[in-house]
Amino acid sequence: MKDPATIEKILDLHKTIIAEKDLLDHENYDSQIIILNYLDTDGKIHHRYYDVYCERDAVPESMIKSAQLACDPVIQEDNIFRNIKHDNIISSRLTGGYIDYLYNMETKEYETRDLSREEAQILEDAIRRDIAAGHFGMAITTADYNEYMETACRGNFELNYNITYQVNNGGENETRNDSTGTSINISTHCTETLDALKQIGVTDETHKILTRAEFQKLTKDEDMEPDYYYDDYYDSYVEYPEAVCYD
């Protein structure tokens, strides 16, 4: 993240968490995990991990600010398309993609659907509209487990790119080509993306993208394999400290 205004918002959130330490550092009703990563001038990464607790009728300012940041278009643009936004990338070209966990209501099985370049482009455009509208990030900002399950969609889809980039080899810049992808999780808040999926025929009366709550109901009704609660947004990018670091 290099946008000065967004960096200031992140620093302001960190200051707010520290200022609210006595309010946040205890178990109450609901909680939200906030992870802040900093890269210093020596190239070392510093992680700060906070489990923010709050009463449902008294949401702390830090949780409000974190929710705003999670939906911030600059942050989500950088998060979703980070693999094609590195400084050494000269150009990128969308080539296609795929969607997994597409549920077939007739066979009661999950399917994977490949995306043509044209279909992937329609989806990418829709994703960018959802980002600009602040739709991405809304599902993960809730501290309510049931609300999360009812809005977060199960599975993900991937957009694939060919990229051209530069590397320094012995003091000389070399141009190379490679491929990469970006994995995207959506929620029911991503209305532009969901409409685009219908437009290109990925979803219809038979093929559905289920929320986590819908899938859990299916596992109960159809005796399917249970869906263990797992938050894709907090994958193994950092090692979580055992204690909360208020510094």
Residues 43 and 115 in one domain: no
The sign of the torsion formed by the CA atoms of 55, 56, 61, 66 equals positive
Contact at 8 Å (CB) between 75 and 40? Answer: no
pLDDT of residue 145: 77
Residues 20 and 61 in one domain: yes
Radius of gyration of the chain (CA): 20
Instruction: Give the tens place of pLDDT for each residue, 82-131.
Output: 899 888 899 999 999 999 989 999 998 999 999 999 999 999 999 999 99
Residues 99 and 199 in one domain: yes
Q: How far apart are CA 18 and CA 11, in angstroms?
A: 11
238 lies in a domain?
no
The tally of domains found in the chain comes to 2
Question: Which of 14, 41, 70 is a domain's end point?
Answer: 70
75 lies in a domain?
no
Q: Give start and end residues of each alpha helix (H) in 59-209.
A: 61-70, 73-80, 117-132, 145-151, 191-199
Closest Cα to residue 77, out of 135, 5, 122, 117? 135
Q: Give start and end residues of each alpha helix (H) in 86-132.
A: 117-132
Residues 140 and 198 in one domain: yes
With left for phi above 0 and alpha for psi between -120 and 50, is residue 155 left, alpha or beta? left
55 lies in a domain?
yes
Instruction: Give the tens place of pLDDT for each residue, 196-235.
Output: 999 999 999 999 999 999 988 887 755 444 443 333 333 3
With left for phi above 0 and alpha for psi between -120 and 50, is residue 52 left, alpha or beta? beta
The range of the structural domain enclosing residue 117 comes to 82-221
Residues 95 and 185 in one domain: yes
246 lies in a domain?
no
139 lies in a domain?
yes
Residues 87 and 62 in one domain: no
- State the pTM of this model: 0.78
Instruction: Give the tens place of pLDDT for each residue, 5-14.
Output: 888 888 888 8
Residues 43 and 161 in one domain: no
Residues 107 and 194 in one domain: yes
Residues 126 and 186 in one domain: yes
DSSP run (H or E) holding 220:
helix 212-221
